[in-house]
Amino acid sequence: MKKVEICLSPELLHLYDHQDKVVVIVDIFRATSTMIAALHSGVSSILPVMDLDTCRSFQSKGYLIAGERDGKKAAGFEMGNSPVAYLEENHKGRKVAMTTTNGTVAIEKTKEAASSILIGAFVNLSATAAEILTQDKDVLILCAGWKGKFNLEDSIYAGALASKLHPHFLTECDSTIAMKNLYEGNSHRLQLFLGQASHAKRLENHGIDRDIDFCLEIDRYDFVAKMKGNEISIPE
């Protein structure tokens, strides 16, 4: 039987073999939630980029540039890291180059070796689980965390996904057992539970409560987002 492992921070990634696995990358607040919102709004693809300068250079190649650092839109960028902004503006058909504090870095770290990369978010949780169930591959869920540290929201999402994949996959890795239990014990009060998360509190100071609510909505969408080459899109 195939297995699901959870890596709780990109800093721990070297301890996991991610070759030939389905890797699900999650950054609930807010990069991966924003990617799903952008794709839903009609953006054709998203190119994750490590640094602001590289990202900025894609503007002359026709990309919409999205840059965020420490929760704020970076100077000179057209978009920051707000999912709600994509729902409110029309960027249909545009390609986006995106760089964020944690999420896009996590994607960059895994993109060479994984068999496939899916973008995880609560807003498309069940669709991602259904896609994984069609594949005969081990799964590694990589939590983007916050500047290398563990965070609650990415970890509990990982537990939610493991819970959906059980019993079709082995969930015997200790971090998977822990996060699956954490999710199952708190799924009835997820918003309240994650309201305590340091990341949610930090972002509240930026006055983006609507983003937080969006990121915690489960199964708003029924599509998956997948890496194809260097870009993320909705598979045909």
By CB under 6 A, name the binding residues for ligand L3UKIRZJ: 27, 29-31, 68, 70-71, 81, 100-103, 144, 146, 199, 202-203
Q: Is 34 in contact with 169 (CB distance < 8 Å)?
A: no
Residues in the chain: 236
User: In the complex with ligand L3UKIRZJ, which residue's Cβ is closer, 108 or 231?
Assistant: 108
Cβ-based neighbour number of residue 234 at 10 Å: 17
- Under DSSP, the state recorded for 192 is H
User: In the complex with ligand L3UKIRZJ, which residue's Cβ is closer, 168 or 201?
Assistant: 201
* SS3 of residue 49 by DSSP: coil
CB of 230 to ligand L3UKIRZJ, least distance (A): 18
Q: Which residues pair with 79 in a beta bridge?
A: 66
Residues 125, 1: Cα–Cα separation, whole Å: 22
CB of 71 to ligand L3UKIRZJ, least distance (A): 4
User: In the complex with ligand L3UKIRZJ, which residue's Cβ is closer, 185 or 195?
Assistant: 195
- Under DSSP, the state recorded for 43 is -
Give me 37's structure tokens.
């919102």
CB of 33 to ligand L3UKIRZJ, least distance (A): 8
CB of 45 to ligand L3UKIRZJ, least distance (A): 18
CB of 29 to ligand L3UKIRZJ, least distance (A): 5
CB of 104 to ligand L3UKIRZJ, least distance (A): 7
User: In the complex with ligand L3UKIRZJ, which residue's Cβ is closer, 144 or 173?
Assistant: 144
User: In the complex with ligand L3UKIRZJ, which residue's Cβ is closer, 61 or 202?
Assistant: 202
Q: In what order do the strands lie in the sheet with 45-48?
A: 4-7, 139-143, 22-26, 116-120, 226-228, 231-233, 45-48, 95-99, 64-69, 72-73
Which amino acid is it at 135?
Answer: Q
CB of 101 to ligand L3UKIRZJ, least distance (A): 4
User: In the complex with ligand L3UKIRZJ, which residue's Cβ is closer, 78 or 184?
Assistant: 78
Q: Which residue is nearest to ligand L3UKIRZJ (CB)?
A: 100
User: In the complex with ligand L3UKIRZJ, which residue's Cβ is closer, 165 or 208?
Assistant: 208
Give me 188's structure tokens.
């009835």
Rounded to the nearest 10 degrees, how much is the dihedral formed by the CA atoms of 172, 176, 182, 183?
Answer: -110
Element (H, E) at 191: helix 190-194
